[in-house]
């Protein structure tokens, strides 16, 4: 992510919104060629210092009169984040520097070409120092400033796939930087419940959930930031969550961002903005059993029941549960289906606790035959579907019939 000093935003006080810097195809179409050249500098820059690489990037923008310095510095930061630099021995560098300077001090001043007035050529003195230390000069030079960031030398640049990926990362990074000052964030989600909720938990964000309509949920992220004024720390957690959110579908967000003057402005975003996350989409199904069952069921209703993938989720305080499937009947009834998929003791214990919390909801639990004994204490026999290798439609239809009436 970018640091706060690299954030580039515009505040529209008339509309009460904050607008992070964003490079768009129309106004900034020529940036794609610049991005490719930036990547070429890093790909071909093995052995160059960080300072030299940054100077070359800066030179690319010499003709861009409307390009803020922060934008250039932000590109350098994003490129460095994907680069691997040789840091050498930071402890040995100061001692080596002192010794080299002492050896060179007796020949001061050093010049590129010796003459009658200045008789000590730098290349000759480097050779003498190299002989004194019994090390080749390139090796000495590489270690001389190993403790200083800008003199680290590039070893490898896995980098970005192409210039478009770099520009996409820049747009998302500027949004993340704007969220550093966020005190709350409201989400309206209609799809990808599991991934969004998982991202909220992994980012350490406290949240409250409200179901506003069938399959529509309002999630508010606030917590200690707004109470203890730890805005920056909590805002960073929101910023970490953003790439996960952008990789999902069916969401709209509105964050409250605090300016330096303590004014609150909105930062609005949705999946319709078509930002690209470097995380990419997740697989639609968590296991082959789920995928196979969805294929067998098909898209048409069976006995009045329609199958939906993560059509709703259950919540109780900070505890949430996203069943694998939802069956929605034509008369409005809803039944959830959870397919047990992993067999670690921690997973089983977690699932047992979850099912105990949500025992009052209409949940079917599909359990492999050789693991049925783990769930006997937390699942009513009438709501259990035991299967061997694959989950059969007939077995599920029989279980759904128990919810008739």
What confidence tens digit (pLDDT) does each residue in 54-90 have? 999 999 999 888 899 999 999 999 999 999 998 766 6
Q: So where are the chain's domains?
A: 92-151, 180-282, 288-401
Taking the C-alpha atoms of residue 70 and residue 81, their distance in angstroms, rounded to an integer, is 16
Per-residue pLDDT, 167 = 97
In our burial notation (b when 16+ CB lie closer than 10 A, e otherwise), range 350-364 reads ebeebbeebeeeebb
5: pLDDT strictly greater than 90: yes
Neighbours of 344 (CB within 10 A): 8
For residue 218 the two structure tokens come to: 């309002």
The model's pLDDT over 213-223, given as tens digits with 9 standing for 90+, comes to: 888 999 988 74
Of 50-64, 268-282, 312-326, 334-348, the range with the lowest mean pLDDT is 334-348
Please, what is the Cα angle at 309 between 218 and 200, to 5 degrees? 40
The model's pLDDT over 112-131, given as tens digits with 9 standing for 90+, comes to: 888 888 889 999 999 999 99
Taking the C-alpha atoms of residue 96 and residue 110, their distance in angstroms, rounded to an integer, is 19
List the beta strands (DSSP E) in 52-136: 84-86
pTM: 0.74
| More confident: 146 or 301 | 301
Q: Is the dihedral of CA 137, 141, 146, 151 positive or negative?
A: negative
Helix (H) or strand (E) holding 242: helix 231-246
Taking the C-alpha atoms of residue 51 and residue 152, their distance in angstroms, rounded to an integer, is 8
- Quick one: pLDDT band at residue 346, thresholds 50, 70, 90? low
Taking the C-alpha atoms of residue 19 and residue 16, their distance in angstroms, rounded to an integer, is 10
Helix, coil or strand: residue 44? coil
271: pLDDT strictly greater than 60: yes
Second-level CATH architecture of 180-282: 2-Layer Sandwich (3.30)
| More confident: 27 or 173 | 173
């Amino acid at each position: 992510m970018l640091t706060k000093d690299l954030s580039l935003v515009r505040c529209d006080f008339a509309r009460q919104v904050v607008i992070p810097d964003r490079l768009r195809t129309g106004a900034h179409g020529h940036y794609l060629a610049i991005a490719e050249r930036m990547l070429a500098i890093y790909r071909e820059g093995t052995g160059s210092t960080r300072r030299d690489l940054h100077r070359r990037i800066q030179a690319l923008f010499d003709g861009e009169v409307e390009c803020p310095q922060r934008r250039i510095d932000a590109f350098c930061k994003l490129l460095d984040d994907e680069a691997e630099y040789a840091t050498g021995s930071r402890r040995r560098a100061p001692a080596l520097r002192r010794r080299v300077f002492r050896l060179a001090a007796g020949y001061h001043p050093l010049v590129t070409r010796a003459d009658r007035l200045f008789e000590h050529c730098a290349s000759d003195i480097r050779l003498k120092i190299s002989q004194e230390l019994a090390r080749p000069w390139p090796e000495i030079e590489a270690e001389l400033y190993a403790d200083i960031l800008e003199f680290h030398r590039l070893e490898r640049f896995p980098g970005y796939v192409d210039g478009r990926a770099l520009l996409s990362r820049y747009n998302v990074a500027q949004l993340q930087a704007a969220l550093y000052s966020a005190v709350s964030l409201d989400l309206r989600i209609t799809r990808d419940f599991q991934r969004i909720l998982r991202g909220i938990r992994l980012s350490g964000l406290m949240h409250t959930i409200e179901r506003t309509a069938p399959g529509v949920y309002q999630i508010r992220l606030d917590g200690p930031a707004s109470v203890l004024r730890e805005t920056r720390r909590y805002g960073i957690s929101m910023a970490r969550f953003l790439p996960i959110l952008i990789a999902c579908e069916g969401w709209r967000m509105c964050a409250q961002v605090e300016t330096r003057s303590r004014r609150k402005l909105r930062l609005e975003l949705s999946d319709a903005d078509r930002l690209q996350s470097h995380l990419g989409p997740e697989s639609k199904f968590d296991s082959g059993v789920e995928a196979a069952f969805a294929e067998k069921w098909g898209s048409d209703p069976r006995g009045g029941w329609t199958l939906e993938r993560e059509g709703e989720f259950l919540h109780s305080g900070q505890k949430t549960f996203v069943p694998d499937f939802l069956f929605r009947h034509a008369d409005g009834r809803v039944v959830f289906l959870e397919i047990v998929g992993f067999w670690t003791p921690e997973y089983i214990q977690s699932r047992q606790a979850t099912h105990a919390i949500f025992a009052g909801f209409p949940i079917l639990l599909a359990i492999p035959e050789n693991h049925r004994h783990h769930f006997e204490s937390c699942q009513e026999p009438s709501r259990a579907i035991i299967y061997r290798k694959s989950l059969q439609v007939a077995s599920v239809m029989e279980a759904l019939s128990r919810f008739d009436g």
